Chain A
Amino acid sequence: MSQEYDENGLNAERLLEDEMLFSKEVVGDDDDLMLVDCLLREALSKKS
């Protein structure tokens, strides 16, 4: 990991690693699941 941009810290690295896992192991070749993922993000991410 580059030391040049500590401000992004581990959060960005973790996000990237996690999204890679999600893309590879959860979505796979099923494009529709990306859209379901998007719906869930939009519906559930607001902590209202």
Chain B
Amino acid sequence: MNLNLKKLSDNELLSVYLSGNEVAVSVLVSRHRRRIFDYINMMVKDRDLADDIFQETLIRVLRFVSEGRYTENGKFLSWVLRIAHNQVIDHFRQKKQQNNISEGEAGYDLLNNKDLAESTVEDQMVARQIETDVRKLVEQLPPEQREVVMMRYYMGMSFKEIAAETDVSINTALGRMRYALINMRKLIEEKQLILN
């Protein structure tokens, strides 16, 4: 039974799971566990914490699948990695909130805005305003940093592609991205964006 399941594609395993065979999920998890865990661990640099986030990611993945919210046929691992990424972001937001509880009283702190991660209908107008403000800040970045930001976030290019397109080394592309993020943080702090 398990041997046959191992030969199935991710989407076939998900179908088997949804038809009531929970073993299919074990096969799916075991297939991708190392990649997902390594990805989380690389970001949080703490194996115990990475394990916790990995478990939370799995719970969320199964819930979304059960609710029929997985629609990206053929891109299961990419989809799971994005969920893992969001879980890690939530962790950092919570950690930052714990360190800066009083700062939020002054207004709407972009870097502490946990609601961004779990946006509800009532948050949508605020979220749109944040998007507008962030785009304005991007326009203030030096050209070579703005370029790499737009290529990565708007055009969805990898760093290898960005390096090739801009005719620089991959390390230069990565360095520009790092400075772009540092400058963005500085701009957010300088502008003290208060949106409500």
* B116–A42 touching, CB < 8 Å: yes
Residue count of chain B within 8 Å CB distance of chain A: 55
Q: Could you give 29 example pairs across A and B, Cβ below 8 Å?
A: A5-B10, A8-B75, A9-B74, A11-B75, A11-B78, A12-B77, A15-B158, A18-B160, A19-B42, A22-B159, A25-B178, A26-B174, A26-B178, A26-B181, A28-B178, A32-B111, A32-B185, A33-B178, A33-B181, A34-B92, A35-B93, A37-B181, A38-B117, A41-B153, A42-B131, A43-B130, A44-B135, A44-B154, A45-B153
CA distance A2 to B7 in the complex (A): 12
B21 within 8 Å of A by Cβ?
A: no
Closest to B116 in A: A42
Name A's interface SS.
Answer: helix
Per-position 1/0 for B136-172, Cβ under 8 A of A: 0010000000000110011010111000000000110
What are the residues of chain B within 8 A of A20 when measuring CB–CB?
38-39, 42
Q: CB distance A34 to B88 under 8 Å?
A: yes
Whether the pair B138, A40 counts as a contact (CB closer than 8 A) is: yes
